[in-house]
Amino acid sequence: MPESAKIKKTGDGAIVNVSSDSGIMGNTNATLYCASKGAVTLLTKALAVDVAKDLIRVNSVCPGDVITPMLKEEKAKAPDGEKYLKDLISNYPGGKLATPEEVAAGITFLVSETAPFVMGAAWSIDGGITAYSY
């Protein structure tokens, strides 16, 4: 039996999709990425409405930049890696980038029994970058 059928049969479950801050606001030179992450965000909301009657909670997390191997690669490829990182961080009101553990903590909360009434949320885990215009 597929997992989705098991969740529906038990009437209890949680799905968390991973979108991005780019699924909430546009970024330069990222048209297709923003479109794909925007699709994930709205898929989450639409699916949440469709399966709420089965007590299945569907949410998404929308991280900003996260310190990952990919980010470290981008820094290494930049002409001045330290300036690249400093400029990136300067966009964040919190003055730092997320760690994978911080994003995982948000996902863990959303799938937990502590969040039974959270449905269809696009949870920003982004150091405040989507909270203002710059």
Q: Which residues are catalytic?
A: 33
- For residue 62, what are the CA distances in angstroms to 1, 11, 55, 66, 76? 30, 26, 23, 11, 25
96 CB-near residues (< 8 Å, 6+ apart): 89, 127
Q: Where are the beta strands (DSSP E) in 7-76?
A: 13-18, 56-63
Residue 34 in contact with residue 26, Cβ under 8 Å?
A: yes
Tokens, residue 120: 């269809």
Separation of alpha carbons 102 and 12, rounded Å: 25
